[in-house]
Amino acid sequence: MSTFLLRSSTIRLGIFISTLIIAVILIFQLAWLKKVYRFEQKEFDHGVVKAIKGLYEDLDVNVYYSTHLNELLENPESHLYLAHIDLPVNYDTLVSYLQYELEDFGIFTDCHIGIYNSVQNKYAYTKILTLTGAKDRTNTGLPLPVRKFNYLAMYFPNRQQYILSQMNFWIFSSAILLIVLILFSTGLYYFYRQKFLNETQKDFIHHFTHEFKTPVSVISLAADVLKNEKIIEKPSKLAMYAGIVEYQVHYLQGQIEKLLQFAYSESGQLHFDKKEVDVHEVVIKAVNNLTPIINEKNAQIIYELKASHSIIQVDEGYLLITITNLLDNAIKYSKEPRIIVATENDDKILRLIVKDNGIGIEKSEIKKIFRKFYRVRRGDTYVTKGFGLGLSFVKTFLDSHNGKIKIESTPGSGSTFIIELPLD
Ligand code: ADP
């Protein structure tokens, strides 16, 4: 396995494990918070029960001692407690005892109380106990459960907020942990991205050197031969070497053109001169441009230009580069290229389809191939020449023309690139 593959896969494994660990930490933290919340709820309930027990002792009524506390206390909903009580009772004494007991058992939140008279089926007395003292309010928001016995109702409207406020430390520490985990994940992500960019950049320099070195060496060799005076006597050889030089220069021009397109698109200097263009004509031009590689690979180009509306508003030069890039790839990445170039349209969209019978692209690679410099590795080496810039340009072109691209591909059987451009 190559160093790049090893490194990127190791980093990916690292990220996977870290994500798993982060997920486990978060799950544990959430479970822990839930546990603390339940504990605080229980503590609150215990506090209230103890306060009521204390109240019974303060009121010093025998019946309360002889009966089990559970039978005297009801908790019909989480915010509401009903405690049996005998009437008549001195309301003010009861309120002051209760306030004292609640504070004693650490219940520091508003408590709406009511003394229910079962004969009249209503509250005979209501009050709101706040941290700053007891207040008379007509609207206490107290529910009125109908019972056959007299009771003291204690309603805590802010029970949940109070419990949460008791958990401040845990919530705060969880938030800090979450922030740390987010920062850690972001750092990890940027580290991976940087690593990926570095590797792609290194690959680019490697391809760049390779793409330019070979033609330059070939031209230099041909020039050496052409310098020989005797070559004049062999016109066929002269023509052959001149042809080689011409081919290589043409190739170099093509590569320089690609780099220039990229440099312009990177610096935002691509100026689109949109006008009405017949896509079918541009397809023919692109195929003509590719004659050398078509001949070299003995490629078969099959036209299925069926679109009835083939005229769109685009920059012709850039559309030509886009179609050329797609066709060039289709030929490059096929062993015995049999390329179908088709068009079709509906009311709104013109579709250009380039279908090849080449090596295909793995599903996981499809999104990546539009990144600049990205090239799919097959084994230890790249099978074909290129900079990994062709499709990145295609994407830039389509984005600026409200176009879309779709790829359907089966590794080993071939790929279909479908470009969609708006007709208006
Ligand atoms: P280049 O061809 O110069 O490497 P591109 O940006 O045109 O750069 O393509 C990026 C990558 O996408 C290529 O390296 C290749 O791996 C893959 N690719 C593009 N077109 C095809 C195709 N028709 N069949 C198989 N692979 C393709």
Please indicate whether residue 403, judged by its CB atom, sits closer than 6 Å to ligand 1: no
71-121 confidence digits (pLDDT tens): 788 898 889 999 988 878 888 888 889 989 999 888 889 899 999 999 999
| Domains, the chain | 9-166 (no CATH), 189-266 (1.10.287), 270-422 (3.30.565.10)
pLDDT exceeds 70 at position 335: yes
404, β-bridge pairs: 420
Tell me if 151 sits within 8 A of 83, measured CB to CB: yes
pLDDT exceeds 50 at position 123: yes
58 or 261: whose pLDDT is higher?
58
262 or 185: whose pLDDT is higher?
185
Residue nearest to atom 12 of ligand 1 (CA): 369
Cα 118-119-123 angle, rounded to 5 deg: 55
Residue nearest to atom 7 of ligand 1 (CA): 390
Residue nearest to atom 4 of ligand 1 (CA): 388
* Measured distance CA(11)–CA(197) in Å, rounded: 13
Please indicate whether residue 415, judged by its CB atom, sits closer than 6 Å to ligand 1: yes
Please indicate whether residue 331, judged by its CB atom, sits closer than 6 Å to ligand 1: no
Mutate-to-test residue for ligand 1 from 369, 382, 387, highest number of ligand atoms within 8 A of CB: 369
Please indicate whether residue 322, judged by its CB atom, sits closer than 6 Å to ligand 1: no
Phi, psi of 99 (to 5 degrees): -60, -40
- pLDDT at residue 270, as a whole number: 67
pLDDT exceeds 60 at position 62: no
Please indicate whether residue 337, judged by its CB atom, sits closer than 6 Å to ligand 1: no
